[in-house]
Amino acid sequence: RVVVVGSLNVDSTAYVRSFPAPGETITAHGLRVALGGKGTNQAVAAHRFGADVELLARVGDDANARLARDTLAGFGLATDGLGIEPDAPTGVALITVADSGENTVIVASGANERMSPAVVAGARERVADAGAVLTQGELPVATIERIAEVAREAGTRFVLNLAPPVEVSPDTLAAADPLVVNEHEARAVGIEPGDAIDGWLAAASAAVERGLAQSVVVTLGAAGAVAAERSDADGRVTAWTQPAPEVTPVDTTGAGDGFTGTLAAALAAGHPLVDAVRLATAAGALAVQQRGTVDSYADRDAVVAAADA
Ligand code: ADP
């Protein structure tokens, strides 16, 4: 089982020829309304990989919350972990995509900001019997820190996707097993690469050596990922690269979340980190070949087949 404590947003994307100037009203040539938020995306990916997932998130008492519940139920996910905040709106991301391919994003966190440390403390028992607890940077910092504490007390594996790269305490980072970051987030926590992939390998290894986190996974887009962990047997740090399958990307949104959700599900199922990273990389590569975010995640059989190819 995987407990995901995370954000839930409804993403409204307007496709426009070019961005409006201040004061200007323009007409979009397309609109897409979809479920999003990193926590929610990752919960769907973990569920698609076959994990029994419990998503703990906060929503408002509004139409977007109903859309979220319906969408999650459509995927077969339980929705009883969605707490209602009567005086806050469900989180919304307002996205514009211009014909040039550039985008702008405004996130109005709404009910996500109400995910308090107390909510996490109340979920102690559910965390205790999970194989992994997964969270991201889209929650209040005090809440992320409490999740790390609850996981440590319960002896449950703590997977931290520090996206966006908010400032959490060194203890919280040190508990992450693994800390999952993309290139930009890696730099923000002091994982500084030298040149190309070998530089990332050395940087991930050095980060685990100095105790930044229990283990580290850096996703590198089309180049796949690098990872480092300390062996339980002899305490030595090993680091490795995981190339991504070569594919033609159609839409890369949600690839990182597909990666991370799959990674947490594979770890909770008992796979060693090296296998989990291989499966997650395959899941990410499958996600970029489909449009959308939660709609782009493949099921377990497809992920396993792509990872073995
Ligand atoms: P983020 O979107 O969070 O920045 P990345 O761009 O690093 O994350 O992508 C996450 C994962 O998705 C990669 O590790 C890889 O597995 C997969 N991926 C992303 N882009 C591509 C691509 N062009 N080809 C193949 N796999 C990709």
Q: For tokens 């909770």, what's the residue?
A: 268
215 in a domain, yes or no?
yes
Query: 220 CA to middle of ligand 1, Å?
Result: 6
| Cα–Cα distance measured from residue 70 to residue 64, given in angstroms and rounded to the nearest whole number | 10
Residue 295 is part of a domain; what is its CATH number?
3.40.1190.20
The mean per-residue pLDDT over the stretch 120-142 comes to 95
23 in a domain, yes or no?
no
pLDDT digits (tens, 9 = 90+) for 67-84: 999 999 999 999 999 999
Q: How many domains does the chain have?
A: 1
- Asked if the model's pLDDT at residue 195 lies above 80, the reply is no
Angstrom distances, CA of residue 85 to CA of 89, 106, 219: 8, 21, 34
Q: Is the dihedral of CA 212, 179, 12, 104 positive or negative?
A: positive
ipTM above 0.95, yes or no: yes
Backbone φ/ψ region at 101: left (φ over 0), alpha (ψ -120 to 50), beta:
left
Select from 288, 289, 290, 303 the residue to mutate for testing ligand 1; criterion: most ligand atoms less than 8 Å from CB.
Answer: 288
303 in a domain, yes or no?
yes
Confidence of residue 113 (pLDDT cuts 50, 70, 90): very high
The mean per-residue pLDDT over the stretch 15-32 comes to 96
Query: What is the predicted pLDDT for the residue at 57?
Result: 98
The residues with which 4 forms a beta bridge, in sequence order, are: 55, 134
Query: What is the predicted pLDDT for the residue at 174?
Result: 98
Query: What is the predicted pLDDT for the residue at 233?
Result: 85
Ligand 1 pocket, residue 224 CB under 6 Å: yes
| φ/ψ (deg, to 5) at 203 | -70, -40
Confidence of residue 123 (pLDDT cuts 50, 70, 90): very high
Omega before 117 within 30 of 0, i.e. cis: no
- Asked if the model's pLDDT at residue 264 lies above 80, the reply is yes
For Cα atoms 81, 85, 89, give the angle at the middle one, nearest 5 degrees.
110
Query: Residue 99 has which token pair?
Result: 């014909």
98: CB partners within 8 A, 6+ apart: 16, 17, 18, 19
99 in a domain, yes or no?
no
Catalytic residue among 129, 257, 295, 299: 257
User: What global pTM score does this model have?
Assistant: 0.96
> Are the C-beta atoms of residues 137 and 165 closer than 8 Å to each other?
yes
Confidence of residue 197 (pLDDT cuts 50, 70, 90): confident
Ligand 1 pocket, residue 252 CB under 6 Å: yes
For residue 149, give its domain range. 2-8+37-90+111-308
